[in-house]
Amino acid sequence: MMKRQYPTLAEVAKVAGVSLMTASRAINNRPGVSPEKREDILRIADEMGYVVNRAAQKLTGARTRIIAVVAELHTPFTSDLLLGMGAVARAADYEMLVYSLPVRDRRPPGSILDLLRQIVDGVIVILPYESDYLESMATAHIPVVTIEQGTESVFPSVTADNYQGGLSALQHLIELGHRRIAFISGHDRLTSARDRRRAYHDILAQARLPYDPDLEVDGDFSRKGGFEAAQKLLALADRPTAIFAANDISAYGAIAAIREAGLSVPGDISVVGFDDIPIASQLHPQLTTIRQPLQQMARASVNLLLALVAGLDAPSEQIVLPTQLIVRESTTALKAKRKKEEAVKVGVGR
């Protein structure tokens, strides 16, 4: 269908009165062409509306200057991450394509890499959860960088420091005087959720606070989950004075439950989230949370990938980027009176 619309390199070369190869060199900015001729060719190519055919390019084994990102599109941050990656890629004169992974697809899309490697030079895989098919990807002979795969990844990876972020969030609550701190967890399927939970356990130990299994409730990373988890926490005889929710969404669910119970945030209960989703600074109360370094993750992953593409044998690097505590309205110091009570009851931390 519709042929002969775009000129080929051969046609450009003919018009320019040079050989095909000279035109190729000129266009790909390679040595072996005199400056005048190069300029000539480029001008003519432009006038003729020449566009390289990447399919042909790829077929010969050359780079196409396209990268791909494989991601579950509606996961909280993917769109921000992708936007960042696109910008970084474009700045490096690369184009970026996205493959949208079907939601919770059971089938390994290892074949997706088989497809992509025929088109692009490298792939970034955003897989928030551990997956069997990561291994199936190892056989696809194309540079791969993973995001959010934790430190066990076979590929070079970039990830936010979920563990340190969790520590900061909890440290913040402890500094505000809280001793009875609950944790609303996410799916353990997610590497990030596990790291945040680990931070919770470790900080208790570190601050010499007792671990109460009643204070750890599953929140499913969802608003509903957070809501129900908070209800369970509020029903406890000795309810917590602060809650660390594994993500912002469930934090807001918890806040809704707390308010519905006639209590206030942060007056009665302080709440810290994780992620710093955009509305965290707009919804009331503005949420104290942990910000993920999305822009840095985007930049790091693309740069890492491009290095691999360029053949720089970057060792299987694991880049972990720092998170940041953002203090807003949803947390406050434990009231003096209750603080004293707590101190008596629990014993003074560290």
Partner DNA sequence: CGGCCGAACGTTAGCGCTAACGTTCTGTAG
Partner DNA sequence: CTACAGAACGTTAGCGCTAACGTTCGGCCG
Q: In the complex, which residues of this chain contact its own copies (CB under 8 A)? A: 1-3, 5-6, 51, 53-56, 58-59, 61, 66, 68, 73-74, 78-80, 82-83, 86-87, 90, 95-100, 102-103, 111-112, 114-115, 118-119, 141-142, 223-224, 256, 279, 282, 284, 311
Tell me the per-residue interface mask from 61 to 90 with DNA, x by CB under 7 A, - otherwise: xx----------------------------
Burial environment of residue 35 by CB neighbours within 10 A (0 to 12, 13 to 18, 19 or more) = exposed
The least CB distance from residue 15 to DNA, in Å, is: 12
User: What is the footprint of DNA within residues 25-44 (CB under 7 A)?
Assistant: 27-28, 31-34, 37
# binding residues, DNA (CB under 7 A): 26
The binder of 73, among its own copies, DNA, none, by C-beta within 5 to 8 A per type, is: its own copies
The binder of 96, among DNA, its own copies, none, by C-beta within 5 to 8 A per type, is: its own copies
- Near DNA by CB under 7 A, which window of 14-22, 184-192, 240-248, 326-334? 14-22
If the CB atoms of residues 110 and 293 are measured against DNA, the closer one turns out to be 110
The least CB distance from residue 136 to DNA, in Å, is: 20
CA distances to 33, 129, 239, 330 from 285, rounded to whole Å, are 64, 30, 21, 6
Determine, following the binding rule CB under 7 A, whether residue 19 of this chain makes contact with DNA. yes
Local structure of residue 213 (DSSP, 8 states): G
Q: 307 phi and psi, to 5 degrees?
A: -65, -45
Number of helices and strands in the chain (H, E):
13, 12
Burial environment of residue 187 by CB neighbours within 10 A (0 to 12, 13 to 18, 19 or more) = middle
CA distances to 21, 222, 279 from 163, rounded to whole Å, are 54, 20, 23
Q: 71 phi and psi, to 5 degrees?
A: -155, 155
CB atoms within 10 A of CB 318: 16
Whether the CB-CB separation of 8 and 56 falls below 8 Å is answered with no
The least CB distance from residue 53 to its own copies, in Å, is: 5
Determine, following the binding rule CB under 7 A, whether residue 60 of this chain makes contact with DNA. yes
Residue 186 has which token pair? 């996410």
Residues that bind DNA (CB under 7 A): 3, 8-10, 18-22, 24, 27-28, 31-34, 37, 50, 52-53, 56-57, 59-62
